Structure 1
Amino acid sequence: MKTLTLTASLIASACAATPLLAEDLNTGLQQIAIADPQGQRPLDGFLFYPTKDTDTTPSLGNPVWASLPIVADAATLPQRHPLVLMSHGMFGNARNQAWLAAQLTQQGYMVAAINHPGTTTFNRDPDQRRMLWERPKDISRALTHLLRDPATMELIDPDRIYMAGHSLGGFTAVALAGGRYDAAGLDAFCAASTDDLVCGIFQGWQVAQTNADRAMMEQDLSDNRIKAFAVFDLGGTQTFDAQSLGAIDTPLLVYGAPIANSGIDLDVESRDLITKTPPALTTYLEPADLAHFDFLGQCTAKGLAILREEEPQDAFVCENGTEPRAAHHAQIAQTVSAFFAGH
């Protein structure tokens, strides 16, 4: 298994592969809307892309979350770009990793982030939530849409397609990499681990509780168009069949966050995942001061105080969420870009 000591060489390879310097590029933004022929699961989100337009406007922020300099509907660069697909965490949304999208676009990447129906801030429908097999399919549908849309198809390099997922988005990423859901194995694990966070969530959501749902969850949801994955402090390692994890043939960059403010147990999540995936394809990073919610956006100077007053149960998401989080973001973006550029 590759470790943090390889970061410098990864960064060097990224610099060699980056088509333009970061100061040459800004972040363009357009909305994505993907229809569902059955009308059951339309998707929406954002497409971030590099532009030389300079008319930036503070966007995607509010009193709690810091804005980003964005050029709405900017002109695109007439060349093919690597594409990164992003999957948010439980009840998160397509804005959660906009900070990473912005930093990647400044290095020449396009980034697509979508909202997953049922598990997003804006749609918590219990039936959609139960159908977790749809999450990986959302990403595959978004990729197919972008590769077929005349507005984007000529802008994407099909040999440089990647994915990043945070928390439940990390579960989504592992499924797309080839991890197969193991309902019986999870049942056995949960019977012996009654306080496990993921067990409680999946049972509460009624995931794979019928034979039909189990069959859907256990299907092969991998997408071989995606060449490498970044997995950010995932939840759900114990849902996957160990043999399928060992058979993954796509490079994985796995981050574990040891600051315990989310309920995720690293010993049964990221640390266990990397014992089951191929060592030659797995790079694991666990920065000592990284927290689960450091993968969300940077908080404003007043963000923590606002949450403590208005939403005290959620205030922890902005703990150390200003300059310390910005420093984490810079390191993560650099490492992710380097990892993808190396594959």
Structure 2
Amino acid sequence: MFKKLIFILLYIYPLFALAQDQIGERTFAFNDTARHRPLKTEVWYPTNDTRKPDSIPGYPFIHIPTVRNASLPSGVHQLILISHGTGGGRMTLEWLADALVQKGFIVAAVDHWGNTYDNKIAIDFVTPWERPQDISFVLTQLLNDKDFAPLIDKNRIGAAGFSIGGYTVIALAGGQISMDALNKFSQTPQGVKEFTLPEFPGLKKAFNPADVEASFKNCPDLKDNRIKAFFAMCPAVGQGFTNRDQLKRITSPVYIVGAQSDSIAPIKTNAIHYQNLIKGSKIYIVPGKAAHYTFLNEGTEAAKHGAGPFLNDDPSVNRHEVHQQVAKIAVDFFATTLK
């Protein structure tokens, strides 16, 4: 009996414990044909699959290796939808997905069509109201998927977003942006600075304003009542909101995180501005020299060379520690609000 116990402790339990910590990953090629928007989506989930996690040669981000197409978990789980920043991609907030999955959540992140690092379409950089529709479409697809629908607790769904993805989740919560307010702000010195995007140099000359106006007028109601909690990191386009009436429909919990030294979406006109207008919202500002792109994945040493602020921070900033801190806030927020 004693020898059997020793065998279990030394050989069986470590394998079981390892399996419990595994992250499964699947890629979906959704397509919103009504809006002509392919929406590639990455889904991460807890798994007991004992296969060795995949190693991706040349992968530029530090992350927890996953088991591709791993066996699915049992029971039902909270689902968190993630919206990336402008010119980013579905994999750029993998640090947050990892932290959530390790606590039992299923996480889905979408590539917003025309607004990713490898697919830049000018009009899709200036029509942010398309993005909440992407999230709602993907949510519908997952809730109809034969594999994942049974795993998702339909009453415990949340959304998290970074930068313009932060606006995306606020719009899903019920925020209604003003095109006039955005236009007026864009003419100010601060507006010119905020709308000059490093991800798309020369953007202002690359689209037709009439097309943007038409897109805005044809936009449906973006509030998605299926989503119950919202986590916005360094939210952008805050100056499209000038009064509380534009955000009065938000009744679900909202948590906002900003960075003290954010020069892309400065906290005064964005994170703090949103928090002042959204009744009952909570806020945390990462102090010191943490900046906008500190919220992107950590890069490998090889990837950092030539990547500028996207993967490199002020020497006083430990990106890994910022991620750990913000991930804990997010996990606690969703665990509390999606009981």
In which range does the TM-score fall when normalised by the shorter chain?
0.7 to 0.9
Q: Report the residue type matching 1:80 in the other structure.
A: V
Q: Report the residue type matching 1:250 in the other structure.
A: S
For residues 223-234 of structure 1, the aligned pairs below 5 Å read: 223-234=224-235
Larger radius of gyration: 2
> CA contact under 8 A between 2:173 and 2:224: conserved in structure 1?
yes
In 2, distance between residues paired with 1:252 and 1:148? 27
For residues 140-289 of structure 1, the aligned pairs below 5 Å read: 140-193=136-189, 195-200=191-196, 206=207, 209=210, 211-217=213-219, 219-240=220-241, 242=243, 243-260=245-262, 262-278=263-279, 280=280, 282-289=281-288
Which consecutive residues of structure 1, in runs of 5 or more, have no partner in the other structure? 1-20, 308-313
In 2, distance between residues paired with 1:270 and 1:23? 39
Alignment correspondent of 2:9: none
Task: State the 1:234 CA deviation.
Answer: 1.2
Equivalenced residue count is 312
**Given the alignment of the two structures, is residue 62 of structure 1 paired with residue 58 of structure 2, yes or no?**
yes
Bigger drift between 115-124 and 22-31 goes to 22-31
Alignment correspondent of 2:25: 29
> CA contact under 8 A between 2:194 and 2:264: conserved in structure 1?
no
Q: Deviations over 1:10-36 (max 9, x none)?
A: xxxxxxxxxxx9983321000011123
In 2, distance between residues paired with 1:273 and 1:61? 41
In 1, distance between residues paired with 2:205 and 2:180? 17
Q: Report the residue type matching 1:300 in the other structure.
A: T
**Given the alignment of the two structures, is residue 303 of structure 1 paired with residue 303 of structure 2, yes or no?**
yes
Task: State the 1:316 CA deviation.
Answer: 1.7
For 2:32, what is the secondary structure of its paired residue? coil
Task: State the 1:57 CA deviation.
Answer: 2.8
Alignment correspondent of 2:108: 112
Q: Report the residue type matching 1:227 in the other structure.
A: K
Task: State the 1:67 CA deviation.
Answer: 3.9
For 1:79, what is the secondary structure of its paired residue? coil
Task: State the 1:45 CA deviation.
Answer: 2.1
Alignment correspondent of 1:17: none
Task: State the 1:193 CA deviation.
Answer: 4.1
For residues 88-103 of structure 1, the aligned pairs below 5 Å read: 88-103=84-99
For residues 320-339 of structure 1, the aligned pairs below 5 Å read: 320=313, 324-339=318-333
> CA contact under 8 A between 1:93 and 1:114: conserved in structure 2?
yes
Q: Report the residue type matching 1:114 in the other structure.
A: V
Output the TM-score relative to the length of structure 2.
Answer: 0.84
In 1, distance between residues paired with 2:52 and 2:186? 49
Output the TM-score relative to the length of structure 1.
Answer: 0.83
Alignment correspondent of 2:11: none
In 2, distance between residues paired with 1:63 and 1:152? 27
In 2, distance between residues paired with 1:129 and 1:223? 22
Q: Deviations over 1:243-268 (max 9, x none)?
A: 122331111110011124x4322111
Alignment correspondent of 1:14: none
In 2, distance between residues paired with 1:106 and 1:321? 29
Q: Report the residue type matching 1:318 in the other structure.
A: L
Q: Deviations over 1:296-342 (max 9, x none)?
A: 111223433x22xxxxxx41222249992111112211110110111
Q: Deviations over 1:183-226 (max 9, x none)?
A: 12222333344644344568556586455333135x42110111
Q: Report the residue type matching 2:76 in the other structure.
A: R
Alignment correspondent of 1:11: none
